[in-house]
Amino acid sequence: MKNTPFITKHEALGAKMAEFAGFNMPISYSGINDEHAAVRNNAGVFDVSHMGEFILKGENALDLIQRISTNDASKLIAGKAQYSCMPNNEGGIVDDLLVYCLEENASYMLVVNAGNIDKDWKWIQSFNTKEVEMHNISDKTCLLAIQGPNATKILQQLTDVDILNLKYYTFEKGRFAGVDNVLISATGYTGSGGVEIYFEDSNDAANIIWDAIFSAGAAQDIKPIGLGARDTLRLEMGFCLYGNDIDDTTSPIEAGLGWITKFTKDFNSRNIFEKQKEKGVAQKLVGFEMKEKGIARHDYEIKDFEGSILGRVTSGTQSPSLGKAIGIGYVDTRFSAIGSEIFINVRNTLLKANVVKMPFV
């Protein structure tokens, strides 16, 4: 397993560690429910340095991004980011990603999922027919997500960048905790506000920034947060997790990601997605609440009253914020309307659930 530059911090804090996407990652510290509440109500720090970062440079960088992704990156100006996905040639998704415009029409950063770094790199390279300069900076890039309603108030004292007024899906580069060239962005995955900070793992920057954040947030009781709470937080917001809710076999139209699928340009599987948008899809990703006691887990069957299979659960949990079991999954489109009654097969018992609007909170 790989370690992030913060491994000694996690171990010193007594984190429960486990393998995730080839990395030794903190799953929890004080407990998932406690950490979840800290982010919803106050502030917490996630080490997400396992994520992948690619730099694409040159006059054809935008052209390459446009051909491999569904969203329209030509709309980006310097300091703005967008959520997008890379489709394969069969109507599935290679990965979902963030696209940061560092310099308009010249330099971009792509942030990809940890488990897909090598796959994504090779995929993008296979379309790089116009000599775009590509750099995989994943191994030398640290990424901390400081999330929660009090996160920016705590961090503002550490930087001259006006992070209190940083708009959603924008970013700035500046000095943070005495470290230069730190990219600070507002592209969070929790729905509770906050920022993410990207910086190079050099000159002890990881220790300096980590210690500065926890020193600045000590009076506010800022907490370290593991991947367990990250999952419950994103699920309450209905955000997709690659490998669970989207993958090489699911389309963005089925997954409710039509809003990042723009038909104003050419990209892989465009014809497939256009037909799906025009004619409809056989299955849709929906949110649901359990109406009987039990928790839906990944890959559990979703059935109708007669026991016929309608689809499968992709993510499920006991929502710490709501105190009830929730989940998302693909169902036959006929059962995708809000209020539809479905049944989750939990240990060979059909438990009632209702389709609900997302986000859950």
The letter for the amino acid at 353 is A
Looking only at the bridges linking them, the beta strands covering 301-303 and 349-356 are unpaired
Q: Which of 200, 235, 270 is the last residue of a domain?
A: 235
DSSP string, 287-327: EEEESSS----TT-EEE-TT--EEEEEEEEEEETTTTEEEE
Residue 74 has a pLDDT of 98
Domain harbouring 17, CATH code: 3.30.1360.120
* 258 in any annotated domain: no
Count other Cβ atoms within 10 Å, centred on residue 130. Answer: 12
Same-domain pairing of 192 and 324? no
- Evaluate whether residue 66 is within a structural domain: yes
pLDDT digits (tens, 9 = 90+) for 314-339: 999 999 999 999 999 999 999 999 99
Question: Are 42 and 154 part of one and the same domain?
Answer: yes
Are 330 and 224 in the same domain?
no
Do residues 159 and 291 both lie within one domain? no
pLDDT at 61: 98
Q: What is the pLDDT of residue 123?
A: 98
The tokens for 244 are 């669970």
The reply to whether 74 and 208 lie within a common domain is no
**H-state helical runs in 109-204:** 117-127, 151-155
pLDDT score at 199: 98
Clarify whether residues 45 and 144 are in a common domain: yes
Does any domain span residue 250?
no
Do 42 and 151 lie in one domain? The reply is yes
Q: Which residues of the chain have pLDDT under 50?
A: none
Are 153 and 227 found together in one domain?
yes
Q: For 84-121, what is each residue's pLDDT tens digit?
A: 999 999 999 999 999 999 999 999 999 999 999 999 99
pLDDT in tens, 76-88: 999 999 999 999 9
Total domains, the chain = 3
Same domain, 103 and 124: yes
The pLDDT score that the predictor gives to residue 96 is 98
Between the CA of residue 340 and those of 6, 305, 332, what are the distances in Å?
45, 11, 11
Q: Write down the mean pLDDT value for the chain.
A: 98
Say whether both 228 and 104 belong to one domain: no
Q: Which structural domain, as residue segments, surrounds residue 116?
A: 59-131
Contacts of 138 (CB under 8 A, 6+ apart): 51, 52, 53, 54, 117
Q: Are residues 183 and 147 in the same domain?
A: yes
Same-domain status, 150 and 37: yes
